[in-house]
Amino acid sequence: MTAMRTISQDRFGGPEVLHEVERPRPEPGPTEILVRVHAAGVNPVDAKTRATGYLLGELPFVLGWDVSGVVEAVGFGVTLFRPGDEVFGMPLFPREAGAYAEYVVAPTRHFAPKPAALDHPHAAALPLVGLTAWQSLVETAHLQAGQRVLVHAAAGGVGHVAVQLAKARGAHVIGTASAAKHDFLRELGVDEPIDYTTADFAEQVRDVDVVFDTVGGDIGVRSVPVVRPGGTVVTILGNTLPALAEAAAGREVRAAAVLCEPDRLGLTALADLVEGGALRTELDAVLPLAQAGKAHELIESGRTRGKIVLTP
């Protein structure tokens, strides 16, 4: 059995629990592909799962839900891809991870052809945040041209993709970030950058159709008054949904929480936007796989601009 390098953990804790371990290279089952990882995206949900188990229960495990790479082998019954194809996508989120490694196995339809316009690190930055933004703004909030959308943490991993998606759909985009990031927001397509650090955003914004909360805490609840009747607040911090739903009830505002699901329909839509020049991913840092702990320190600092990516 061929071995491969992985970043594994056998206890929950800080970034220091991440360490290099050799594991057997997985084999693709029926309908699955084996992908040689050229780059693996790092997401806040990785850090949460590292620290608490969150979506993955049993130790030891290998984190990593964002992949860009090359198909190494295909399982029984697979015809969509062949060895050598460049692909991007996700393993069986949320039940399995494994992209902090040289190889990862995934259902074939959790992947799509990598956009030629992106190199592997930029493509690895896209699946989880891109599907999260797509499934929140398009499939849940049904964002339309001409609507007003407020994106919280618009310079963050999910936020910076959400801004571009909203802009590509013809929406008027309001985005929050500290003033130092407002030039970046404008580059992404934000029409109205809001500095949430000097004044309450709720006093600077009104009559929006859709609020996208990528922050959590009380941001969702505090956003309800800025939404017009019939509008929607979507959060990706599901633990805030009960309070959000309570605040939204009686104000004719819809409250929803989204956890992204791997889906090639969404991946293909994202790839089309990339190829059309309407979407790009911003990298804050590209680190070698062995520095996964450093990557987690960065992602937990909350001060990144764009995404962190690991390369085996």
Q: Does 258 bind its own copies (CB under 8 A)?
A: yes
# chain residues binding its own copies, by CB under 8 A: 30
- Both tokens of residue 192? 């109205």
By the 10 Å C-beta count (0-12 exposed, 13-18 middle, 19+ buried), 191 is classed as middle
Residue 311 binds its own copies (CB under 8 A): no
Under the binding rule (CB under 8 A), the answer on residue 90 touching its own copies is: no
Whole-number Cα distances in Å, 259 to 36, 45, 129, 136, 184: 26, 11, 10, 9, 27
Asked if 283 and 309 touch (Cβ cutoff 8 Å), the reply is yes
Footprint (CB under 8 A) of its own copies, residues 278-307? none
Q: Whose Cβ is closer to its own copies: residue 139's or residue 284's?
A: 139
257 binds its own copies (CB under 8 A): yes
Q: Is 66 in the site for its own copies (CB under 8 A)?
A: no
Residue of 43, 135, 281, 291 that binds its own copies (CB under 8 A): 135
Q: Which of 13, 24, 30, 53 binds its own copies (CB under 8 A)?
A: 30
Q: What is the DSSP letter of 25?
A: P
Nearest residue (CB) to its own copies, 143 versus 283: 143
Q: Which of 139, 192, 195, 284 binds its own copies (CB under 8 A)?
A: 139
Position 24 contacts its own copies (CB under 8 A): no
CA nearest 228: which of 141, 109, 103? 141
- Collapsing DSSP to helix, strand or coil, 86 comes out as strand
Q: How far is the CB of 177 from its own copies (least distance, A)?
A: 25
How many C-beta atoms lie closer than 10 Å to residue 303's C-beta?
10
Residues 5, 31, 48, 251: which binds its own copies (CB under 8 A)?
31
243 binds its own copies (CB under 8 A): no
For residue 107, the cross-strand partners are: 32
* Residue 271 found at the interface with its own copies (CB under 8 A): no
Is there a cis peptide before residue 94, judged by omega within 30 degrees of 0?
A: yes
Largest CA distance in the chain: 61
203 burial via Cβ count (<10 Å: 0-12, 13-18, 19+) = exposed
Q: Near its own copies by CB under 8 A, which window of 18-26, 164-172, 258-266, 272-280?
A: 258-266
H-helix or E-strand containing 271?
Answer: helix 264-275
Of the candidates 13, 14, 29, 242, which one interacts with its own copies according to CB under 8 A? 29
**Binding of its own copies by 83 (CB under 8 A):** no
Binding site for its own copies (CB under 8 A): 29-31, 55, 76-80, 93-95, 107-109, 135, 139-140, 234, 238, 256-265
